[in-house]
Structure formats: C-alpha cells, structure tokens
Structure 1
Amino acid sequence: MGEVKLLGFWASPYSLRIKEALKIKGVDYEYDEEDLWNKSQQVLNYNPVHKKVPILVHAGKPIAESLVILEYTDDRWKGNPMLPQDPYDRAQARFWAKFIDDQLMPPILTALMRSGEIAKRARRKAEEQLNLLENEIKTGNKLFEGKGMGFVDIVGVVVAYWVPVIQQAAGKELLVQKSYPRICSWANRLLTCNVTREKLPPHDKLVSFYEDRIAAILKKASRL
C-alpha cells in the first residue's frame, strides 16, 4: 500500500485523530513532529493552501485536513471501519463531526481563551451549541453510544480531553457534569478507550502549553 507518513504536532487534537485512526486500522507509519512556529518546507510543500498539520502522506501523495484524512484512512484500509455502513448513518456521522469542528469548538475556544465582551458573547454561543449536542445525545443517537471508537468518537476526543485541559489552563468552567451530563458521560467513555489513552499527550504538559497560549493571546489583545 506504500509508505505512510504523518506530519503532526504533539498538542494538536487534530493530529491525535489521525494517530488514533491509524492505530485502529493497524497501519504502521513514520511520524514527523512539526514546529508550528517554524514550519518545515515539507509542510509548505505538502499543504500549500492551509500550511498546517496534520498531513498524511501515503505513497508520496499528501492528504490534508483531519476530517478528510480520517475518511481517506477509512476508505483506504477497510478493516475496522470507523464510519457506519448505512448511507444515512454515514451522512449523520459526517454532519456531527463537522458540527463539533465548525460550530462547537470555535466558540468554546474563544470563550475560554479570550476575555471581556468577546468571551461573554462566545460563551453564550458555546452554551447554545453544547445544549444542541446534549439534546442530540439525549435522543439516543447511536453514534454516541458505540463501544469502540467510531468516526464521531475520534473527532469528539477534542471535547473530551482538550476542553477540560483548556478550562483548567484558563481557570474557567464551561463544560461541566451538572450542566451537560450526557456529553460528559460520552467524554468519559472516549477517555477510557485504550486506543485513546495510548495516544493522548501528557495532561500537565498540555495544560502548561495552553496557559502560555492564553497568556500570549490576552497580552496581544491588551495592546490593541
């Protein structure tokens, strides 16, 4: 099937997704750790549009963007499918994965990593989106109830692990058991899965990373 290489960054939830997927598929790969503040020429060559990781290189051909890479991985290596087999269920999995990335995480990150009115507005939006997800899980959507790690589960690790880490780094609370018990129950299941635990970056190191990121963001905002 050709050589497989993954270009990633240790603190990136999007890089972790691909590590998990390749583990699930049993694919051996070479891993290159990238410096996001001093991007290598291979990142610029392989992903000239977005110039970011993760990038999967298979048989010399690059694939960028984590959701695209996940689907490619599922199509290329057929064992242990991550997407459902039913076309409607597959469409729903894609929908909720994009919801997490495009609708849920941006306001959460802004609410936690910014201050003032910007953070307040983002928090209101984040709470709206969290309520949507909480209600969807409440309906019994089987995408959130699997025993293994499906497509939405892999994408959801950013909610399960990164959101609590960033909350700790920011000294704020948003995603809490009392308000979102079903999301938290789903998150706990994701974090007890062996394939997830094996690949997660160290908790304290990640908290420190985001403390520095938040401090830099707030310092820059204070100068504007």
Structure 2
Amino acid sequence: MQPWIHLADATAPEGDRLRLSRRGDEFSIRLEGGNELMNSRLGGSEEALATLALEALPKSSAPRVLIGGLGMGFTLRAAQDVAPPEAELIVAEIVPELVDWARSHMAPVFGECLDDPRVRIAVGDVGAMIRAERAGFAAILLDVDNGPDGLTRAGNDGLYSVAGLNAARRALVPGGILAVWSAHPDAAFTRRLGQCGFDATEHKVRASRARRGSRHMIWIARAR
C-alpha cells in the first residue's frame, strides 16, 4: 500500500491544526494527531445533501443557495449538477487555506468547478452570513463540522442552537429549505427544528457512493 504524503497544514479559527495528505489519488484532511474530517473517497452523503435539498426547493429560475463549508467540494459539485443556469451558489468557508488547496493540491478533485460563474466563494463565518440575511436564500446547506454534535469548533454549535435555527429561518424565503448534514442521528436536533418553525424529514444515506459502509444523517427542513 502506498504511504500517505503530507502536503500542507492549516489552522482553524479556534486553533485546531488541519493536515492535508495524499495517497495515490486519495486525499484526506485530518485533525493533527486525531480524527479524519474529510476523505476524497467518501462523498456520497455530502452529494446527497445538495441533491435532496435542491429537489425540495420551491420552483425558481434563479435560486440563491448558501453552502456552509467547502470541504472537498462534494456538496458544491452536486448542487452544480442540478441547479438551474441562473442560480447563485455561495460557498462560505472559514479556513482560507482550504480554498487555496482546492485550486492547488486538490485540483484533481475539484476540477474546474470553482470557475463556474454561478459560484461565489466567501471566506468567512457562515453563521454571520446567515444572521445578516433576511428572506434572501432559497436554501441553506450546512455541512459544517460534525453536524449538530460539533467536533472541531465550539462556535459551530451556535448554528444548530435555537438562536441559530431561528436565524436560518429568517434568512430563508418563505418555504425555503434548511439542509443539515451530520455524522450521526440526533433526536434532540429533530425536535429543535420543529420548535423553530421547520417541518423536517430525516434521511439516512451512505457515506460512500457504494451501497455499503457507514451511514450519515441529513435533515431536510422546510421553513413554515
């Protein structure tokens, strides 16, 4: 088996060190000395996040879609596949090095997707973007941290709190969609979505594109 080759490091806002590695055509981003956060061979559930959300959208010729977290671009590329030509796809990424890696080390994964005129990359906190918006997004797709049970950044917990969900509802157009990815189910989060004015459905999807292996959770929540 080929060894992992270390390519680059980055520091997240609260000090966690991220390490990008490559083994053949496989890429991995890990916490330094710890958990794997992303792998280029495991994008099935991230793709489902975009597909399920955009399929549930109210009909619009030019929806504005906010994607929280660039990651390895699985959610973005899946959104590009199904979004109409006049859509606006805004990707908020808080670690600027990930954007640089997408255009350099991970160019084989990303291809030309960042050159799509529908795409805008915003380096910054997706929570701040949500709080600043009023009824402007047709959909908000959150693939941030480990889901409602945050792993890397305590500040991410606010996205999934009552205050964070209320902010998301205000940022959506009437009937807009909040889609949330998680590594694990979370019954308390499902209840919280209902308490904050969303009608939510749960979807268990495979982490990989193969019909085997672990499953992840996606919530598709429509604003009332």
TM-score scaled to structure 1, two decimals? 0.34
> Could you say which structure has the higher helix fraction?
1
> Could you say which structure has the higher strand fraction?
2
Structure with max Cα Rg: 1
